[in-house]
Amino acid sequence: MNIQPKIRVGVLGATGAVGQRFVQMLQGHPWFELSVLCASPRNAGKRYADACNWLLRGDMPAHLQDIILEEMAPGIDCEVAFSALPSGVAREVEAELAAAGYIVCSNASAYRYEPDVPLLIPEVNPEHLGLIDVQRNRRGWRGFITTNPNCSTTHLVSALHPLHEAFGVEKVFAVTMQAVSGAGYSGVTSMDIIDNVVPHISSEEEKMERREPQKLLGRFDGQGVEMADFAVSAHCNRVPVRNGHLAAISVEFTRSPSLEDVRRAWAEYDPLPQRMGLPSAPQQAILYREETDRPQPRMDRLAGSVPGMTTVVGRLREDPLLHVKFLALGHNTIRGAAGGSLLNAELLVAQGYLDSQEEAAGDRTPAAGGVLNAVR
């Protein structure tokens, strides 16, 4: 699929850790052109280099250093807005932009649990895009919001999806070992995490147990999502790892599979983004490691043809209480955050959802002198 001209996109909350990851992943994207960077009123009007403490490997892209940050409001020069906002801010800003005709691909939790907002993992539930029409009709918006799940939920559900399709998930027990980057740059102090494990992450267990997996694996009935009926018990822990969330998962199924059946379900998994060849979709959505001591965050968090976008599983064995147990690993700020929203946007393009936005986009008046003119 060749997109000409490229689709103009913006980043809301561009100075934060996830916002920076959006900026990094959009460099050289074959379909999207970064046309505007937005920040809080405190930083709007400043140069990106002056307002942003760049946290990622390598330097801030040189062509963006002099870009002036804009306020997060209708009038910004883009068709798609990637949101890296805190949930409290996102609640107002994302709705305002969607009402004005923008497509908002959000990493925030503000709208994840709304019954008319898609909570998406493109490999898992692309049919939930049908909620977009429901959302626009109910709310009277010219645009719409899609969301991606919590970073820990993303790889749990990605590993479970082919197993649920083949054998029916009944019960899940998960213990997560989550990287410090999941709490943001200043979220966990060194004195708290060095030589330690913190056995509590605010609201994380609630999201994994009662909210996100059931919606993601639920059935879209034309008007809403019928939640999947299975139980999850989660223990969420913060560990002294920089990037990469690791989860120890035990599962009970409706139909008891052999270990070979489980391996085959993962190996034969060929979901829609891979078949469509979306730019950010790795060739293998799930990669199984045969070694007895893998996956490991340092070794495997960037595995796959698109670094950081693959779910890595391993240590599959029988469980004495449930049916099987295994480990699942994924990069939390790439696939579990910015990369998840990016892949959602690619699916929207491939499924024609941006075509229906052309009339709404024509009604918007771009802000004067944005990033688009500066980059060109």
Cβ 249 vs Cβ 321: under 8 Å: no
What is the band of 366 on the pLDDT scale with cuts at 50, 70, 90? very low
Rounded CA-CA distance 18/339 in Å is 10
Cβ 42 vs Cβ 89: under 8 Å: no
pTM: predicted TM-score of the whole model, two decimal places: 0.92
Please report the pLDDT score of residue 187 as a whole number.
84
Q: Buried b vs exposed e over 171-180: b needs ≥16 C-beta within 10 Å?
A: ebbbebbbbb
- Report the chain's mean pLDDT, rounded to a whole number: 93
pLDDT surpassing 60 at residue 30: yes
Please report the pLDDT score of residue 329 as a whole number.
98
245 is catalytic: yes
Cα torsion 73, 79, 85, 88: sign: positive
Spatial CB neighbours of 59, under 8 Å, sequence gap ≥ 6: none
Cβ 266 vs Cβ 285: under 8 Å: no
Rounded CA-CA distance 313/105 in Å is 27
pLDDT surpassing 50 at residue 361: no
Cβ 324 vs Cβ 316: under 8 Å: yes
Share of the chain above pLDDT 70, in %: 94
pLDDT surpassing 90 at residue 283: yes
Residue recorded with tokens 């019960």: 171
Kindly give the interhelix angle for 17-26 and 339-350, rounded to the nearest 10 degrees. 50
Share of the chain above pLDDT 90, in %: 91
**Mean pLDDT, range 233-261, rounded to an integer:** 97
H/E run at residue 90:
helix 87-99
The pLDDT tens digits of the residues spanning 164-203 come to 999 999 999 999 999 999 998 888 999 999 999 999 999 9
Please give the angle made by the CA atoms of 128, 27 and 66, to the nearest 5 degrees. 125
Comparing 155-159, 206-210, 245-249, 282-286, which segment has the lowest mean pLDDT?
206-210
What is the band of 356 on the pLDDT scale with cuts at 50, 70, 90? low
Tokens of 108: 């925030």
128 is catalytic: no
| Catalytically annotated residue among 164, 245, 323, 331 | 245
Q: Which one has a higher pLDDT value, 186 or 115?
A: 115
CA distances for 89 relative to 21, 111, 338, 367, angstroms: 19, 12, 17, 21
| Catalytically annotated residue among 38, 151, 164, 323 | 151
Cβ 193 vs Cβ 179: under 8 Å: no
Please report the pLDDT score of residue 40 as a whole number.
93
pLDDT surpassing 90 at residue 2: no
What is the band of 357 on the pLDDT scale with cuts at 50, 70, 90? low
Q: Structural domains in the chain?
A: 7-149+337-351 (3.40.50.720), 151-330 (3.30.360.10)
**SS3 assignment, position 358:** helix
Report which residue type is found at 184: G
Please report the pLDDT score of residue 369 as a whole number.
31
Task: Look at the chain and count its residues.
Answer: 376
**Mean pLDDT, range 271-278, rounded to an integer:** 98
Please report the pLDDT score of residue 371 as a whole number.
31
Cβ 55 vs Cβ 20: under 8 Å: yes
CA distances for 340 relative to 14, 29, 213, 324, angstroms: 16, 15, 15, 27
